[in-house]
Amino acid sequence: MVVERVSTSHKVADEVCTEVAGPLNDIASDANALMDEFIGHDDLRLRLQQIIDNVKGIQKALHQVAQGPNSTVLGVSEARSEDDPIIADTHILVADDEPNIRTTISDILRKYKAHVTVCENGAEAITHIEAQAFDLIVSDIKMPDKTGYDVFAAARRKSLTVPVILMTGFGYDPNHSIVRASQEGLQAVLFKPFKVGQLLTEVRKALQLEAQPAR
- Give 48-55 contacts, CB < 8 A, sequence gap 24+: 51/27, 52/28, 55/24, 55/27, 55/28, 55/31
Contact indicator for 113, 84 with CB cutoff of 8 Å:
yes
Span 59-96, pLDDT tens digits: 776 666 555 544 467 667 666 677 789 999 999 999 99
Domain topology for 73-211: Rossmann fold (3.40.50)
**Mean predicted confidence (pLDDT) in 174-183:** 72
Which residue ranges make up each domain of the chain? 2-66, 73-211
Tell me the whole-structure pTM to 2 decimals: 0.65
Q: Say how far apart CA 93 and CA 175 lie, in whole Å.
A: 24
- In this predicted structure, the answer to whether residue 56 has a pLDDT above a threshold of 90 is no
